[in-house]
Structure 1
Amino acid sequence: MYDNQAAIVLVVELRFYSKSRHIKDQYHRVREEITAGEVEVGYIPSEAMHADPLTKGLGANDFMRNPNPQILVRRTNGKLLALTDDTWDLSGSISPLLFSGLKYLEYLDLSWNNFHQFKIPDQLGDLLGLKYLNLSNAGFSGAIPNRLSNLSSLHTLDLSCAFFVDVGHRFQLTDLRFLALNGANLSIASSAKCKDWAVPISLLSKLKVLSLSNCSISGPIPINHLLNIASLSSLYLGFNLFFSTIPPRLVNLTFLSDLDISNSHVRGSIQHLPQIHMLNAGGNHDLLQFCNTSGIVKQYGKYFFSSGTILANNNIEGPMPPYLTNLSNLEYIDLSFNSLTGVIPSSISHIGNLQALNLYQNSLEGQIP
C-alpha cells in the first residue's frame, strides 16, 4: 500500500493532530494490519499519485500528466504506427464531472491515453485558468470544440495524432504561442473545396511554433494566411501533399528560424531565406530539379543556413562547391541520396562548427579530407 507522508505518519507512528480526531475508529484498522505484518506502507510522491490533482493544490507542472509518455506517434501514408502495450494507461470516455472542480487548473496533460475516438470534451472550455493543454496521441476525434476559444490564457495546445480534426471554426486563443496538430488528418479540411482552411490558424497572431507534420494537407502552402502570423519562429510542414513550389514570400516571415518541408512533394528551387537557421527539405524528389551541374555551383550557397541544412534525397546533381567554408556557423549538412559528383573539397574541413556531415549514396570519389 502506498500513500503520502502525512498518511504514513498517521498509520505507522502514534501521532494525533487536531484534524485527525475526526477519523472514525474503523479506519484505524490498518494500524493493526501493519503491526501484524499483513500490510506494508510505502511512500509515493505527488507526481506519481494520479488522484492528487483532484484532492490538493499542486504546482502548475504537476497536474494530470500521463506517467508513461513515449516517442511521438507519426502517421506515414495515412497509417498510425504501432504503440507499445504500456503506452495508453487511461481508456474510455471522460465524464464532464471531472472538470467541475478544476477552475483554477493551469496545466493539463491527457496525452498517450485511449479515449476510443470520443470527441474532445466541451467542458475543457470551462477551465479558464488553463495555460497548457496536451491531448496528443489520446485517441480523440472530431471537431475542436468552439468552447476552447474561452481559454484566453492558453499558450500551448497539442492535438497531435487526433482523428479527423476539424479546424473550421475561428480560434480566439489570443495568447497561444505553440500549436501542434502533427498526425491529425486534415485531408478533408484542406481539400480543394476548403481553400481557406488555414484562416482560423492565421488569427493566432502571437503564435511562435506551428507544427503540422503528417497531416495529409493537400494543395499549395497557405502563404497568404501564414504571413498574418508575423511572430512565427518555427514552422513544421513535413510529410504533406503540397505538390507546389516553395512560396518566395516566406522571406517576409522575418522571425522564422526553423523550417521543415521534408517529404512534402514541394518542387522547384529554394529561394534565399536569410533568416532561416535550420532547414529540412529532404525527401522532395522534384526539388531543385532545374539546377544543373554548373547552376548548382553558382547558387548552392543559398541553400545552406547558419545552423543546419537537410537536402537529402532531392536529385541534386553536380559537384560540391568549394566555398562552403565561408559558412562558418554551419553545424549540420545532410546531402545524402543525391547525385553529387567529383571530389569532396578539402576546404570543408575548415568549417569550424561543423559537427555532422552526411554524404551517403552519392557519386563522389577520392579521399575524405
Structure 2
Amino acid sequence: MNLRFLNLSCAGFGGYIPKNLGNLSKLEHLYLGGCYGYVIGPGNDLRVDSLSWISKFSSLKSFDLSQLVIEDTKDLWNSINMLPSLLSLNLEGCNLNILPSFTQVNFTSLSSLNIRDNAIGMSFENSSIIPPWFSNLTRLMNLDLGQNKFDDPTNVLEKLSSLRVLDVSNNGFGDSLLSSLSKLNNLVYLDLLGNDIHFSSLHLLGNLTSLSVLKLRYNVLKGLIPEGLTSIFCRLSVLDLSDNEISGLLPTFIRDPSSCLDNRLKELYLGNTKFSDFFPEGLTMHKNLEVIDSTNSLLYGEIPYSISKLSNLRFLRISNNKLNGSIPSSIGQLSNLEELDISENLFTSIVSELHFVKLSKLMKLHLSKNENLVLNVSSNWYPTFQVKEIGMASVKVGPNFPQWLQKLSILDTLIMSDANITDMIPNWLSNITLFMTTLDLSVNTLVGGISVLCDAQLLESIDLSKNLLSGRIPSCLSNLEELRSLNLADNSLEGEIPSSLGDLTLRFLHLQKNNLQGKIPLSFQNLTWLERLDLGENKLKDVFPTWIGEKLQSLELLRLNSNQFYGVIPLELCQISSLCWLNLAGNNLYGTIPSCFGNFSCGSISGPGEVFGQRVESFMKGIPLEYVGEQILLLRILDLSENKLVGGIPKELTKLVYLQYLNLSRNSLNGSIPKKIGDLKQLESLDLSHNKLSGSIPQSLASLNYLSYMNLSYNDFSGPIPTGNQLQSLDDQSFYVGNPRLCGILIKKSCNGNGTSNVNEQTPQGGDHDQDVDEHKWFYAGIAPGFCVGFLGVLFILYKTRNRGLVQVFQCLARRL
C-alpha cells in the first residue's frame, strides 16, 4: 500500500495495536495517541506489547504514541533507534520510567521530542539525569521534558544549539540548569514552572537575546525583584511570575514602560504573589498587552481611567485584591476583551450600560463579592455580548429578575447569589439553561416552584438555597442526568422527597431546613457516589436506616439532625470509614454509642472546586454557626446531642485524632470521661452537658491547645477541675454548674486534702434550679416569724402559770436575741 498518512488518535480505540500495521511500510506520519490539549473526543485505550514492527517504517517522519500503555520500553527505544528519518516523536503520558543508555543514536534528524508526563526519575533505582546521548540531537528545536523528575542537566542541554522551545516544567531542576541554558542563543520559549530556581541565578539568561516567553511560576522566587533583571524582562512578550513569594512594589519596567528600549510585553502573570502596590497608571502604557493576570495579590487603589488605552486587551483578571473606588466606565471601550474578572475586591460603584458598550467579544464576566456594587441598567437593555460565564454574587441586581438574561443563549455558568432579587423564577429561565452546567441563585427571595429547570439536562450543579421556594420537589429533576450537586436547603419546600432523585448520580445533596416529611426514599441506596447528604431540620420520621452504612460508603458528611428518626444507631454506619461530619442531634435515637465510631478514618474531603456555594449550619461552641464553601473542607464533627442515648462514652472515640467538635450533650450517658480524651489534639469544642456522667475530669484535657469551648454542666463530676494551657481561658462558671462536688480555681471553690469540694455549691440559676432557689428563699423567710410567734406563745403560757423563775430566764434570752 502507498498510504503515507494515518491518524487514529483520539478515536476511542482499545486493545492491542496489531503488528500487521507494520505492513504499511511507506507511512511517513503515524498518529496513534490519545486526546490532549484542546482536542475533544473519545480517548484511545490502546496497548502495545512489541514495537519491533515499526522498524519497517524507514520513511517515518512523525510518530505519536502519546498516552499508550507500552509494556516493553526497551523494545520501544530499540525500535525508534532504527528510524533515521524521524523528525517528530511524541511519547507524552506513556508511563515511561527510564531512558535508555544508547552508545549510538540513529534518529539524529529529530527536531521535536515530547516525553512529558512520564515517571522518569521518580524512583531511587531510576536515574534522574538527562542521558548523554541527548547531546547528539543537535537538530532538536522543540524539547518537552515536563512533569518528570529530572534534576541534573549534566551540561547536555547546552549542546542543543538549535533549541527554540524548551519545557522543563514540574521537575526538580535547580539554578545549575540556567548555566546549561545560557548558551542557547536561539531559545525563544522557556518554561521553568515548578522547579527550584532563585532570583540570584536569573541573570544567566541575559545572553538569550531571542528569548520571548519566560514562565517562572511555582519556583522559589522571594522578596524584591532585582532591578538588574530589567533588561531581560524588557525583551519578553510573555512573563509569568505567579505563585511565588515575590513582594514589594511592582518592578520598574511594569510601572514605567519607558525604562525598556522596546516595549514587547503581551502577557503578564503576577497571580498569587505578595506585590503590594497601586494599580499602576504606567501599566496602561504597555500598548501591546493582551493579558493582565494579577489574581490574589495585594494590589490596591483604583483602576485608572486610562485602562481604555489597552485596545488589544483580551483578559483582565484582577480578582481577590484590595482594589477600591469606582469601576471606570472606560472599561466598556475594550472591544477585544474576552474575560473580565474583578471579583473579590472593595469596589463601590454603580455598573451601568456604559461599562459594556463595546464588549461584544466578552465570554466571561465576574463581578462577585465586592464591597458594594449595584447593577443599574434600564429595563429594556440587552447586552451585545454572548457570555458563557456570569458571576454576580453579592452584586445588587434586583429586586426584579434581570430580563436581559433572556438574550444569553450559550450560558454555561450563572451565579447570582445574594443579589437582592425578590421575584418569581421566570418561565423563560428554561430557555437559557439548556446549555448551562452551573446555576446558583441562592440567598435571594425567590418564590414559587422549580419545575422550570426540568429540561436543563446539562446542569451539573444547582444551588437555590436560602430562598422562599415552596411546593414539592419536582420528580422531573431526575431528567437532569448530569446533575452532581443539588442544594435546595433553607426554603419552604414540603411533601415527601421524590424517590426519582435516587436515579441520579449525585455527589452532594442538601435539602436541610425545609418542611419535608415522610421517609428517606429507599431509592437513595443507589446514590453510591454520594459524598454529602444533608437532610437536617425537616419533619422526616423513620427508624434510622441501616442501609445508609451499607450502601453510601462514600459519604464524608451526613446530617440528619432535628428530625424524628428513632431506634438504635446501627453498627452498619461504621462501614463509612470516610465520614468526617456526622450530625444526628435532635432525634429520638436510643441505645448506646457504637464503639466502632472510633474507626472513622476521615480522609481528605473533596477539593475546593467541589464545594463552591455550599452552606452547612451546625450548632457549635454553644451557638449556631454557618460554614460556607471551602470552610466545609476543614471541619471534623461528631454531634449526637439531644437524643436518648445511654451507657458510657466509648473510649474508642479518642482514636478520632482529627476530631474538632464533639457534642454528646442532653442524653442520659453515664460513667466517666475517657482518660485519653487528651489524644484528641485537634479538639476545639467539647459539650458533654446535661448527662449523668460522673467521676473526675481527666487532667489530659489540659493538653488540648485548640480547645476554646467546653461545657460539662449538669452532670455529677467530682474533684478538682484541671488547670493549665487552654483550660485557663475556659473560666465561665456556667460550663461547670450542676456538679456540686467539683472544686478548683476556675469556679472559685477550694478543694480539701482529698481533692473534694469544701463548700456547698450555690444553687445554679435557670430552669428547675430557679424553682429550688425560690423554695429556699420562702423556707428561710418563714423561719423568723415562725420562731417569733412560737417564742411569744411559750412566754404567754409561762406567764399564765406564774413560773417567775422561768419567766425571768426567757426574758433574759429575749433581750439578748
TM beyond 0.5? yes
8 Å contact from structure 2 (residues 342, 366) kept in 1: no
Q: 1:229 to 1:57 in 2, by over 3 A?
A: farther
- Give the corresponding residue for 1:357: 686
1:56-75 mapped onto 2 (5 Å cutoff): 60=364, 62-63=365-366, 65=368, 67=370
Matches of residues 194-205 of structure 1 in structure 2 within 5 Å?
197-205=497-505
**What residue ranges of structure 1 are gaps of 5+ in the alignment?**
19-39, 70-86, 191-196
Instruction: Supply the distance in 2 between the matched residues of 1:143 and 1:199 (Cα, whole angstroms).
Output: 18
Q: Which residue of 1 aligns with 2:535?
A: 237
Instruction: Report the Cα offset of residue 162 of structure 1.
Output: 3.3
- Seen in structure 2, the aligned counterparts of structure 1 residues 88 and 339 have a Cα distance that, compared at 3 Å, is farther
Following TM superposition, by how much is the alpha carbon of 1:182 offset from its aligned partner in structure 2, in angstroms?
A: 0.5
2:499 corresponds to which letter in structure 1?
A: V
1:175 to 2:482 alignment: yes
Pairing 1:367–2:697 present: yes
SS in 2 for 1:341: strand
Equivalent residue letter for 1:333 = L
1:99 aligns with 2:409: no
Distance 1:269 1:329 in 2: 25
User: Is the 8 Å Cα contact of residues 434 and 456 (structure 2) preserved in structure 1?
Assistant: yes
Is residue 227 from structure 1 mapped to residue 525 from structure 2 by the alignment?
Answer: yes
Match for residue 152 of structure 1 among 441, 457, 462: 457
Whether 1:125 aligns to 2:455 is no
Q: Which amino acid aligns with 1:311?
A: L
| 8 Å contact from structure 1 (residues 142, 166) kept in 2 | no
Change in Cα spacing, 1:59 to 1:261, as seen in structure 2 (3 Å) is farther
Per the TM alignment, residue 329 of structure 1 is displaced from its structure 2 partner at its CA by 5.1
How do residues 303-322 of structure 1 correspond to structure 2 at under 5 angstroms?
A: 303=597, 305-307=600-602, 308-322=637-651
The residue number in structure 1 matching 2:585 is 282
The structural deviation recorded for 1:131 is: 2.2
SS of the counterpart of 2:501?
helix
Query: What is the DSSP-based 3-state SS (H/G/I as helix, E as strand, rest coil) of the residue aligned with 1:226?
Result: helix
Q: Distance in 2 between matches of 1:128 and 1:163?
A: 22
Partner of 1:253 in structure 2? 552
- 1:143-166 deviation per Cα after TM superposition (whole angstroms, max 9, x unaligned): 2244x3443332211111232054
Question: 1:142 maps to which residue?
Answer: 448
Contact (CA 8 Å) 2:401, 2:422: kept in 1 or not?
no
Contact 1:120–1:145 at 8 Å: present in 2 too?
Answer: no
8 Å Cα contact 1:120/1:144 also seen in 2: no
Inter-partner Cα distance in structure 1 for 2:672 and 2:502: 46
Q: Deviations over 1:99-153 (max 9, x none)?
A: 21x233322122223443413442353244422211112222222244x344333
Bigger radius of gyration among the two = 2
CA gap of 1:344–1:41, structure 2 versus 1, over 3 A, is closer
List per-residue Cα deviations over 1:257-289 (Å, max 9, x = no partner).
Answer: 2100111121111112121332111122x111x
Task: Mark the CA change 1:63 to 1:99 in structure 2 (over 3 Å): closer, same or farther.
Answer: farther
Q: Residue 217 of structure 1: SS of its match in structure 2?
A: strand
**Residue 306 of structure 2 corresponds to which residue in structure 1?**
9
Q: Deviations over 1:26-67 (max 9, x none)?
A: xxxxxxxxxxxxxx987587436755679455575x446465
* Letter paired with 1:132: T
Structure 2 distance, partners of 1:323, 1:16, is 64
Task: Tell me if the contact between 2:327 and 2:351 (Cα under 8 Å) persists in the aligned partners.
Answer: no
- TM-score normalized with structure 2 length: 0.34
2:218 equivalent in structure 1:
none
- Shift of residue 350, structure 1, vs aligned partner: 3.2
Distance verdict in 2 for CA 1:17–1:324, change over 3 Å: closer
Q: Contact 2:451 / 2:476 at 8 angstroms: preserved in 1?
A: no
CA distance in 2, matches of 1:16, 1:345: 67
Deviation at 1:7, TM superposition (A): 8.3
SS in 1 for 2:558: strand
Would you say the 8 A contact 1:131–1:156 is kept in 2? yes
> Is the CA contact (8 Å cut-off) linking 2:409 and 2:431 kept in structure 1?
no
State the TM-score, normalizing by the size of structure 1.
0.70
Whether contact under 8 Å (2:367, 2:395) holds in the other structure is no
Q: CA deviation at 1:68?
A: 6.6
CA deviation after TM superposition for structure 1 residue 214, in Å: 0.7
- Counterpart of 2:516? 217
Say if 2:418 and 2:444, in contact at 8 Å, map to a contact too: yes
Letter in 1 for 2:638: T
CA-based RMSD of the aligned residues comes to 3.5
Q: CA deviation at 1:88?
A: 8.4
Tell me, yes or no, if the aligned pair for 1:210 and 1:236 is still in contact at 8 Å.
yes
Amino acid at match of 2:594: Y
Change (3 A) 1:226 1:10: closer
Q: Report the Cα distance in structure 1 between the residues aligned to 2:673 and 2:444, rounded to whole angstroms.
A: 47
**Match of 2:641, as an amino acid?**
A
Q: 1:344 to 1:278 in 2, by over 3 A?
A: same
Distance of aligned partners of 1:53 and 1:310 in 2 relative to their CA distance in 1, 3 Å threshold: farther
Q: What CA deviation, in whole Å up to 9, does each residue of 1:290-317 have, x standing for no partner?
A: x2xxxx3xx5314454444111122323
- Other structure's SS at 1:230 match: coil
Maintained 8 Å contact 2:583/2:639:
yes
Return closer, same or farther for 1:16/1:43 CA change in 2, 3 Å cut-off: closer
Rounded to whole Å, the distance in 1 between the matches of 2:525 and 2:328 is 53
Indicate if the aligned counterparts of 1:66 and 1:109 stay in contact, CA closer than 8 A. Answer: no
The aligned residue for residue 493 of structure 2 is 186
Shift of 1:209: 0.2
What is residue 266 of structure 1 aligned with on the other side? 565
Structure 2: gaps (5+ residues): 1-283, 285-302, 313-324, 330-340, 373-393, 603-636, 700-817
Counterpart of 2:679, as a letter, is H
Q: Report % sequence identity.
A: 24
TM-superposed CA distance for 1:356, in Å, is 4.1
Residue 287 of structure 1 aligns with an amino acid whose one-letter code is L
The 1:233/1:53 distance shift into structure 2, 3 A limit, reads farther
- Shift in CA distance, 316/109, structure 1 to aligned 2, threshold 3 Å: same
Q: Which amino acid aligns with 1:93?
A: N
Q: 1:17 to 1:315 in 2, by over 3 A?
A: closer
Q: 1:56 to 1:281 in 2, by over 3 A?
A: farther
Bigger CA drift: 311-320 or 266-275?
Answer: 311-320
- CA offset at residue 178 of structure 1? 1.0
**What SS does the aligned partner of 1:242 have?**
strand
8 Å CA contact 1:121–1:145 kept in 2: the answer is no
| 2:500/2:523 contact within 8 Å kept | no
3-state SS of paired residue (2:669) = strand
Amino acid at match of 2:534: Y
> Conserved in 2, the CA contact under 8 Å of 1:66 and 1:112?
no
Q: How many Å apart are 1:245 and its aligned residue?
A: 1.4
Residue 301 of structure 1: aligned partner: 595
Tell which has more relative contact order, 1 or 2 (C-alpha 8 A, sep 6+).
1
Where 2:693 maps in the other structure, the secondary structure is strand
Code of the aligned partner of 2:678:
S
